[in-house]
Amino acid sequence: MKKLHFNIIFDLDGTLVHSVPDMHYAINKTLTKYNLKNISEKKLQTFVGQGMLSLSKKVVDFCGGDESLYEVIFNSYRQNYSDQPYRYSTLMPGVMETLNCLYEKKIPMGICTNKRQNVTEKLIQKMNLNKFFTIIVGARDDIPLKPKPNMLLLAMKGFRTTNKMFYMVGDTSNDIDAAKAANIKSIIVAGGYTDKDVNKMGATHTLKNMKDIIKLLGLS
């Protein structure tokens, strides 16, 4: 078998996993507790991608709260979501086919996400995806989130390989900009959690569906 010399790092929310339904359940539980109007799943999806604190602030603003509620809502939401981030989540289209193919071809894979580390690990475990990933880097208190390159560089280091060819696969400009800052190639997959035109984000490759990666990388 021809050895393939590259590694792939995936974003999580909107790229591998449709996780908004669980976020939606958790945030509305918090909003109800603090007598704020609930938010639709569709609107919440537009706030995903820059971490829980950013999402919480945007939700408070949208739902008519003031700045004094930012930390309160954030802490309550984080607790609700951390307790059960996997009740309603599902895989994005084409993900399992793609992961299975890459795994069979022995392509090293990892995850780099702005979701908290412990929640990411819990979600990956509950969705039975552990075997696919060499390294998982989630949000931590001591490292800047994407689009800064720090998390991505940490993930790359975690592969412990002399092979320096990396692809970052994501669904938003955070992923593409982080890849550019880390000086690696990027793939953006349409249908994720962005309201921007994916064709204008400057990714190395733009795909309609996750499984298109198989053909793009010459694995079919």
Q: What pLDDT shows up at residue 164?
A: 85
Q: What is the dihedral of CA 69, 122, 17, 148, to 10 degrees?
A: 60
Q: What pLDDT shows up at residue 4?
A: 66
Cβ atoms 89, 193 nearer than 8 A: no
Return the CATH class of domain 20-83. Answer: mainly alpha
The domains of the chain are located at 7-18+89-216, 20-83
Q: What pLDDT shows up at residue 138?
A: 97
Cβ burial 169-187 (10 Å sphere, 16+ → b, else e): bbbbbbbbbbbbebebbbb
Mean pLDDT by 10 residues, the chain (220 residues): 78 97 97 96 92 95 96 97 94 98 96 95 95 96 95 94 91 97 97 93 97 93
Q: What pLDDT shows up at residue 5?
A: 82
Q: Where are the alpha helices (DSSP H) in 115-193?
A: 117-126, 150-158, 173-181
Tally helices (H) and strands (E) across the chain: 9, 8
pTM equals 0.93
Do the two domains 7-18+89-216 and 20-83 of this chain adopt the same fold?
A: no
CA distance 116 to 139: 4
Query: Residue 207 corresponds to which tokens in the numbers above?
Result: 């795909």
Protein fold of 7-18+89-216: Rossmann fold (3.40.50)
Q: What pLDDT shows up at residue 153?
A: 97
